[in-house]
Structure 1
Amino acid sequence: MKSIIILCGGRSRRMGKDKGSLVLNGKPMLMHVLDTIKGIVDEIVLVLRDQEQIDKYKPILKDIDMSIKIVTDETKDQGPLVGILTGLSYINSEYGQILPCDSPFISKPFILKMFEIAESKKFDAVVPIWDDGHIEPLHSIYKKDAVDIGRNLVKKEQYHVKSLIDNLNVKYVDVEELDESTMSFRNLNTIKDFECI
């Protein structure tokens, strides 16, 4: 079973707007992600910030023909680690692929390759890594069991996703092995990013 967790709860400080609802090439960025994963995953969990954000996304999601479980962060305004833990706690499978809603160029082969590696069941997480050692924790796969470790970190006020990764048995995979173009990892964080497309 393939489960996807889409994180859409964060606000962009640099844009001052909700990124997942920003329109790119005629449709919200979230819809680009959903269009990519359609037909290749069994379960989708969308993690939003609060009820206000749920109300904002209802019109965007009203015409889609996919089943999406919409949840809100367990703890408000504590960053992506809490979003990851929230999403993992709602999946029915052993692993969940995390995707940010502001990466509209994610590819199907990238998703499938990540799950192929995770299905070896030898690791707690599969994490893309760049040549310079920079990792992509919001494009990673985590075992559902990581929730307990993550919640203990949150109790200690350790909110960085790297803190979770440091406590897991991780398979690091070169980004170019996962997506030769590296476009799956392109985030649109600023107005300038949009203007460059």
Structure 2
Amino acid sequence: MKSIIILCGGRSRRMGKDKGSLILNGKPMILHVLDTVKDIVDEIVLVLRDQEQIDKYKPILKDIYPSVKVVTDEKKDQGPLIGILTGLLHINSEFAQILPCDSPFISKSFVLKMFEIAGAKKFDAFVPIWDDGHIEPLHSIYKKDTAIVIMDLIENKKRTVKSLIESLKVKYVDVDELDESTMSFRNLNRVEDL
């Protein structure tokens, strides 16, 4: 079973707006991500900030995506680590790929390659890595059991995704191997990016 967790809880300080609802090429960014993954995965969990954000997304999602499970962060305004935890607590599969809602150019082949690599199941996480050592923790696959590790990190006041990666048995995968164009990793963080 292939599960996707889409994180869309944060507001961009640079944009001053909810990124997933911003229009790119005639439709909200979140729909670009959903359109890419909807036919290739079994389960989609969309993690939003709060009820206000759910209400904002209802007209965007309409009945086009009735199978998307929409949940809110376990704790509000705590960053992406809480979003990952929330998503992992709501999936039915052993692993899930995390995707940010502000990466509208994610390709189907990238997602499928990640799940193919995760088939080895000998690791807690599968993390894309650039030549310079920079990692992409919000484009990674995590084992459902890492929710326990995240809870422990949060209890110990560690709230970064980097602290999670450092606590896991990780298989790093070259970005170029996953997407030669590297467009799957392009985040839109500023108005001029649109």
* TM-score range normalised by the length of the shorter chain: over 0.9
Note the C-alpha offset of 1:63: 3.5
Q: Which residue is equivalent to 1:57?
A: 57
Q: Return 89-98 or 65-74, whichever deviates more.
A: 65-74
SS at match of 1:128: strand
SS at match of 1:148: helix
Contact 1:153 1:163 in 2 (8 A): yes
User: What fraction of aligned residue pairs are identical, expressed as a percent?
Assistant: 78
RMSD of the TM alignment (CA)? Answer: 0.7
Q: Which residue is equivalent to 1:69?
A: 69
Note the C-alpha offset of 1:192: 1.4
Contact 1:38 1:66 in 2 (8 A): no
Q: Which residue is equivalent to 2:155?
A: 155
User: Is 2:46 the counterpart of 1:46?
Assistant: yes
The structure-2 alpha-carbon separation of the partners of 1:40 and 1:66, relative to structure 1 and needing over 3 Å to count, comes to farther
User: Is 2:148 the counterpart of 1:126?
Assistant: no
Contact 1:128 1:173 in 2 (8 A): yes
- Paired with 1:117 and 1:124, the residues of 2 have a C-alpha distance of 12
Note the C-alpha offset of 1:125: 0.3
Contact 1:7 1:100 in 2 (8 A): yes
Note the C-alpha offset of 1:66: 4.6
Q: Which residue is equivalent to 2:191?
A: 191
SS at match of 2:159: coil
1:110-149 Cα distance to aligned partner (Å, 9 max, x none):
0000000111111100000001100000000000000000
Q: Which residue is equivalent to 1:18?
A: 18
1:26-78 Cα distance to aligned partner (Å, 9 max, x none):
00000000000021000000000000000000000003145011000001111
Paired residue total: 194
- Paired with 1:156 and 1:64, the residues of 2 have a C-alpha distance of 41
The structure-2 alpha-carbon separation of the partners of 1:174 and 1:37, relative to structure 1 and needing over 3 Å to count, comes to same
Moved over 2 A (4+): none
SS at match of 2:103: coil
- Paired with 1:48 and 1:29, the residues of 2 have a C-alpha distance of 14
Q: Which residue is equivalent to 1:135?
A: 135
SS at match of 1:57: helix
